[in-house]
Amino acid sequence: SQGADWWRGAVIYQIYPRSFMDSNGDGIGDLKGVIDKLDYIASLNVDAIWLSPFFTSPMKDFGYDISSYRDVDPMFGTLEDFDRLVEAAHARGLKVTIDQVMSHTSDQHAWFEESRQSRDNPKADWYVWADPKPDGAPPTNWQSVFGGSAWQWDTRRCQYYLHNFLASQPDLNFRTPAVVDAMLEEVRFWLERGVDGFRLDAVNFCTHGELKDNPPRQEIIESFLGVRPDNPYGYQLHQYDKTQPENLLFLERLRALLDEYPGTTSVGEVGDDDALGVMAEYSQGGKRLHMCYSFNLLTDKADPGYLHETLTEMEARIGDGWPCWALGNHDVTRLATRWQAQGQLDKLRLYMVFLLSQRGSVCLYQGEELGLPEAELTFEQLVDPAGITFWPAYKGRDGCRTPHPWQADSRHAGFSRATPWLPVPEAHASLAVDQQEQDADSLLNAYRAFLAFRRTQPALVKGDVRYHPVRDEVLCLERTYQQTRLLVALNFSDQTVTRPAPEGAEALGDAPKWLNGEWQAGTLTLPPFGVAIARCP
């Protein structure tokens, strides 16, 4: 849908540029490669793309460590390539959103190089610097998401600096007004270039709190990196290091800037113990972010009870805010593997319809439409620092970042003429785009068909939602928009189930045929992992 609120209910296709398409044969995907494949993306019937970072970067965290916000890394192309990409995407009716990493820069950013020179240079307070404790220990017990203390000693300045992620990703100090001003100018640069919005990396990490120790936590929770007994990050309550109330002031300034460019949007990435609460707080009231997404559906729990609980809680708390949901991204084990659906078309379609029927916008991660399983890599093949640190308890994020398979019979599945930066798993060849395009019953064609169907159903795109209690592993929800009420029934079990069907419920004529529930004589019959959508009077 067009109009300034196109993002409500939009489907956003996430591209990890390094792994999408390599146009110049250096083994690394690039912006020209994305341009070459825009027809493919448009053919999926998605509304927008989100490009993971392509900015100048030493690539310690594969682009999430930015050394210049206003340029394209030569590895990915040039600013002219980016302009062409925006133009070509717009010509196909696709909006373009980009990844804005504001919480931290690379340690090779000129701002940090200046900041670390002395305690009194003009950028001395642009990062979070602090003196050691009297015994030389770091200022607080804060932990880095990627392991170890969040404080790194700097021999030049003889102080510690804060890094919530890698030591090569120093945290910007959003309590310094000049930092906020400078960051907003970086955002404006891309708005002026015509982007339609931003995915905001780790947005609740921007503003740090008082330099006090985080309290310990009793119950160890699962983070997106999985349960890691060896990572103390999960052993503390993150009371002071992230999600501070002052961060709202920054979000409000950012929103005021975005509002100068009507039709732009923002989706904040929130990693927090109470991510649902933060999603609500950050997206309510029309003066902070447009929407947020979290890791709540990115766990390994494909359990309808858990999903129901999460989604109903979100509905209860979100108010006039707007959620965005994802079942996959570049940080977590691929969906097909995580939810144990590898090679199982019915399950994969169930998960697709589950995701695309929720109230909210949706991010689809490249390869999800192909049902790619997680790549199995050896320790020697790893390049993700998080994987290298925590192997073997946690194997890192490389397994979901391998190249997109385009052609089954080409070298490297048609991704590149050269050896790619990560190998294309053999198991991905038979799932390549060209194979699935030839097969009318493929998952790829199911995505295309369901996304096309969804566009014809305003109730699925922007309707209100009401959940039925889960019984026999069947999750039912109603989406209502104006006079239309759709009932979506999702069978998460491997059994055929029956349900009393509401009076007058009838299948939709134009729905894909694998929406295979039967509505008859007051009864809905759903095959194992079956899905049905009916119109109710």
Q: Give the active site residues.
A: 201, 260
Judge whether 479 and 357 are in contact, CB under 8 Å.
yes
In this complex, which beta carbon is closest to Ca ion, that of residue 328 or of residue 405?
Answer: 405
Pick from 5, 6, 26, 391 the residue near Ca ion by CB under 5 A. 26
In this complex, which beta carbon is closest to Ca ion, that of residue 16 or of residue 492?
Answer: 16
Structure tokens at 69: 């916000």
What angle (nearest 5°) sits at the alpha carbon of residue 455, between those of residues 454 and 458? 85
Under rule CB under 6 A, residue 360 binds ligand TEU = no
Give the footprint of ligand TEU on residues 369-388 (CB under 6 A): none
Cβ-count burial of 318 within 10 angstroms (0-12 exposed, 13-18 middle, 19+ buried)? Answer: buried
State the binding partner of 30 from ligand TEU, Ca ion, none, CB within 5 to 8 A by kind: Ca ion
State the binding partner of 176 from Ca ion, ligand TEU, none, CB within 5 to 8 A by kind: none
Backbone angles phi, psi at 461, to 5 degrees: -80, -45
Q: Which residues, other chains included, contact 134 with Cβ-Cβ below 8 Å and sequence gap of 6+?
A: none
Under rule CB under 5 A, residue 47 binds Ca ion = no
Under rule CB under 6 A, residue 101 binds ligand TEU = yes
Pick from 271, 373, 396, 517 the residue near ligand TEU by CB under 6 A. 271
Beta bridge partners of 479: 465, 486
Give the footprint of ligand TEU on residues 454-513 (CB under 6 A): none
Under rule CB under 5 A, residue 24 binds Ca ion = yes
State the binding partner of 199 from ligand TEU, Ca ion, none, CB within 5 to 8 A by kind: none
Helix pair angle (275-283, 247-259), 10° resolution: 40
Pick from 16, 20, 55, 64 the residue near ligand TEU by CB under 6 A. 64
In the complex, least distance from residue 101 CB atom to ligand TEU, rounded to whole angstroms = 6
In the complex, least distance from residue 441 CB atom to ligand TEU, rounded to whole angstroms = 34
Under rule CB under 6 A, residue 12 binds ligand TEU = no
Give the footprint of Ca ion on residues 203-262 (CB under 5 A): none
Q: What is the spatial distance between Cα 307 and Cα 475, in angstroms, rounded to a whole number?
A: 9
Pick from 22, 61, 73, 374 the residue near ligand TEU by CB under 6 A. 61
Under rule CB under 6 A, residue 331 binds ligand TEU = yes
- What is the edge-to-edge ordering of all strands in the sheet holding 159-162? 129-130, 159-162, 151-154
Under rule CB under 5 A, residue 78 binds Ca ion = no
Under rule CB under 5 A, residue 113 binds Ca ion = no
Q: What is the spatial distance between Cα 272 and Cα 279, in angstroms, rounded to a whole number?
A: 10
Cβ-count burial of 407 within 10 angstroms (0-12 exposed, 13-18 middle, 19+ buried)? Answer: middle
Q: What is the spatial distance between Cα 290 and Cα 312, in angstroms, rounded to a whole number?
A: 20
Strands 95-100 vs 48-51: parallel, antiparallel or unpaired: parallel
- What is the edge-to-edge ordering of all strands in the sheet holding 474-481? 464-467, 474-481, 484-491, 531-536, 506-507
Q: What's the DSSP call for residue 175?
A: T
State the binding partner of 165 from Ca ion, ligand TEU, none, CB within 5 to 8 A by kind: ligand TEU
State the binding partner of 28 from Ca ion, ligand TEU, none, CB within 5 to 8 A by kind: Ca ion
Under rule CB under 5 A, residue 28 binds Ca ion = yes
Output the CA torsion sign for 207, 192, 123, 164.
positive
In the complex, least distance from residue 273 CB atom to ligand TEU, rounded to whole angstroms = 8
In this complex, which beta carbon is closest to Ca ion, that of residue 36 or of residue 272?
Answer: 36
Largest separation between any pair of C-alpha atoms in the chain: 79
Give the footprint of ligand TEU on residues 276-315 (CB under 6 A): 295
Q: What is the spatial distance between Cα 71 and Cα 62, in angstroms, rounded to a whole number?
A: 15
Q: What is the spatial distance between Cα 535 and Cα 537, in angstroms, rounded to a whole number?
A: 7
State the binding partner of 24 from Ca ion, ligand TEU, none, CB within 5 to 8 A by kind: Ca ion
Give the footprint of ligand TEU on residues 155-214 (CB under 6 A): 165, 201-202
The pattern of x and - marking residues 218 through 247 that bind ligand TEU according to CB under 6 A reads: -----xx-----------------------
In this complex, which beta carbon is closest to ligand TEU, that of residue 145 or of residue 489?
Answer: 145
State the binding partner of 202 from ligand TEU, Ca ion, none, CB within 5 to 8 A by kind: ligand TEU
Judge whether 361 and 333 are in contact, CB under 8 Å.
no
In the complex, least distance from residue 9 CB atom to ligand TEU, rounded to whole angstroms = 23
Give the footprint of ligand TEU on residues 73-92 (CB under 6 A): none
CB crowding 360-399: b at 16 or more within 10 Å, else e:
bbbbbbbbbbbbbbbbebeeeebebbbbebbeeebbbbbb
Interacting residues with ligand TEU (CB under 6 A): 61, 64, 101, 145, 165, 201-202, 223-224, 269, 271, 295, 330-331
Interacting residues with Ca ion (CB under 5 A): 22, 24, 26, 28, 30
